Structures are given as C-alpha cells and as structure tokens.
Amino acid sequence: MFSQYFGHYLLNRGLITREQLADALEYQKTVHVKFGVIAVDEGFMTTAQVEEVHEKQRQMDKRFGEIAVELGYLTESQVEALISHQKQSHLYLAQALVDREYMTIDEFGAALNEYKKENSLSDEQFEAIRNGNIDALVQQLLVSDEEKAAKYGRYLSLFAKNMIRFIDDQVYLEVSEDNNITPSNWLIKQDIIGAAPLFTGISTDDQTLLYIASIYAEEELTQVDAFAKDAVSEFLNLHNGIYLVNMSNWGTELNMNPQQIIENASISGELFTVNVVTAKGTFQLVLSDDTTNIKIESAAGTQTV
C-alpha cells in the first residue's frame, strides 16, 4: 500500500506524470526487485558501488550479494536483511520506475528522503509506514488535524484495512478539503447511532460502484442493478459492523441503522471526506460526527438526517 502513497507523492511533486505512475504501478506487478535498488534504498551502498558490483557481475557468475561482500560494501548480515526486504512493496515501485526510465535510483532515493523530511517522520514511523502498517499510514494522513484524527482516525484506519482485505490491496486514500459532496450517481449511507454517533456514506459513480460490487460479490457485474448496489451497501454494512465490534471491545456500545441507497444525492454539513482511489476509479468516503446537521438533497427531495 505504501507504494500507492509514495507514488502519489511523486506525482503531486511533479516528479513523475500520472501516466507514468499508472504504468509503473501496473508494471511493478511483474517486476523483480534487484539487489542494488534495495541496497541503495537501505543506505547500505552508494549508486557508484552498485554500478561497480554490476560491472563485476558481467565478468563473473556470482550473485550481487557475494560480490558486494567480497568488495567490503556489504556485510553478511546486511545481505540477509536485504533479502528479507526484497518483498517490500515500495521497492517494486522503485524498480518499476527505474526499469521504465522514469526516474534514476538516485532520484528515487532523494524523493524518499524528502518525503520523510516533509512529513517529519521518525525512523520508527517511517519503518512502520514502509512496512505497510495501516494505522501509522492513516495517522500520517491526519497528522495536520488532531481533532479529525481523534474523531475519525480509528474509523478510517479500519476502513483502509477492510478495503485492503475485501476489495483492493492497492487502495490509496487522500483527505479531501471539500465540505460539500456534489451529486455523484449513488450515495450509500448508514447511520451509526448511540454514544458516538457517526454518519457514514460512500458516494460513487457507476464505474467505481461496479468495480467494488464485482469484487465483493465475487462475480463480474456490468449493470448497476439492485444486486450491484446491494453488494456495495453490504460492504459498508460489514465494515460498520466490524467497527461496532471494535468500539464495543474498547468499551463503547453502538448500534447502526439499515443502509440507504440514494440516487444523485448531494450532501452538505460538517463533513470529513476522504477520496478512496481504487484501481478502477475513485469514490468518496463521507463521514460526520455532527449527524444532526447533515442535509442530503436528491431528485426525491431534501432530507435532514
């Protein structure tokens, strides 16, 4: 998942284009991460040393690690560490970007350091994020707003985990500044009620709805019919149910109302909106703890939640 975040960071900084990112993310699935890329990424070797090892590899039939140890650039334990790090997802992105010649290893390394610095990440935090720790990643997403982190952090973290578990392991979340949701094709909403009430909704277009529905229902759906809408609605219900169980374990008993599906709905109020970018389109996760002041307008009329 980190590769999605870091990929979008590179995109937002203008270091790569949207097309290059999409291509690299697709290409990374088939990529074999080379030792040299990891060694530079870990800070064990310089690019010049990697080049030197590559040069020697051309002359002799030996593994990268063996040569690097012989040259005194790596210790045996560093080689072992590199082998275990070979599966980290962001490295696949690094290798994909390098293979496709969108960036050099040096540029990738520099951007990674810049990301760390800009986000004021400690080594431990960065390690946690890099290793796919969702809680750390969501915490980072909400770092600029303590109030929102306190209100929505747990919910969002669980949502990210459930998206990965049930829908799309390459999902990317970004906080939207938008306080109004303009009409999308579908709003699927569910109210959590009790001591800590929460409005929850998924606002989506047809294409993204079909993508989520198809994966969750485990069959290819091509029509936005009652079954497809039900599948997305059931995903929200499942996630909210798990949230209720977690909250119950933390001592807060909550309940929830049945889900509702509203066509062409716009929502206003004190909203916290997160853009959820999937492989086949973006939907918005809409949350609000100010549940009494939410207005939903649709073709069927205005309703106050």
Partner 1 sequence: MKQNLKVLICDDSILIRKKLRSVLEKCKIEEIIEAENGVIAVELAKEHNPDLIFMDIVMPDKDGIEALKDIKAFNSETKVVMASSAGTSDHLKEALANGAFDFIQKPISLESVTLLIEKVLKEESANV
Q: Given the rule CB under 8 A, which residues bind partner 1?
A: 166, 216-217, 226-227, 230-231, 233-234, 237-242, 244-245, 247-248, 253-258
Minimal distance in Å, beta carbon 303 to partner 1?
A: 16
Q: Which is nearer to partner 1, 256 or 285 (CB)?
A: 256
Q: What is the per-residue DSSP string for the chain?
A: -HHHHHHHHHHHTTSS-HHHHHHHHHHGGG----HHHHHHHTTSS-HHHHHHHHHHHHHS---HHHHHHHTTSS-HHHHHHHHHHTT-HHHHHHHHHHHTTSS-HHHHHHHHHHHHHHTT--HHHHHHHHTT-HHHHHHHHTTT-HHHHHHHHHHHHHHHHHIIIII-TT-EEEEE--SEEEEEEEEEEEEEEESS-EEEEEEE-HHHHHHHHHHHHTS---S-SHHHHHHHHHHHHHHHHHHHHHHHHTT--EEEPPPEEEEEEEEESS-EEEEEEETTEEEEEEEES-GGG-EEEETTEEEE-
> Of 118 and 253, which CB lies nearer to partner 1 in the complex structure?
253
Q: Which is nearer to partner 1, 189 or 239 (CB)?
A: 239
The answer to whether 167 touches 215, Cβ cutoff 8 Å, is: yes
- Shortest Cβ distance from residue 229 to partner 1 (Å)? 9
- CA pair distance 143, 137, nearest whole angstrom: 10
Identify whether the C-beta of residue 166 lies closer than 8 Å to the C-beta of residue 238. Answer: yes
Amino acid at 109: G
Structure tokens at 171: 């999902």
Residue number, 230 or 263, with CB nearest to partner 1: 230
Q: Which one, 182 or 248, has the nearer CB to partner 1?
A: 248
- Cβ atoms < 10 Å from Cβ of 50: 22
Nearer to partner 1, 142 or 231 (CB): 231
Give me the helix-helix angle, 134-141 and 123-130, nearest 10°: 120
Q: How far is the CB of 254 from partner 1 (least distance, A)?
A: 7
The CB-of-234 to partner 1 minimum distance in angstroms stands at 4
Q: Smallest gap, in angstroms, from Cβ of residue 24 to partner 1?
A: 33
* For partner 1, the closer CB: 96 or 285: 285
Of the two residues 143 and 245, which places its CB atom closer to partner 1 in the complex?
245
CB of 213 to partner 1, least distance (A): 9
Tokens of 111: 């951007």
Q: By C-beta, is 206 or 270 nearer to partner 1?
A: 206
Beta carbon of residue 190, minimum distance to partner 1 (angstroms, whole number): 9
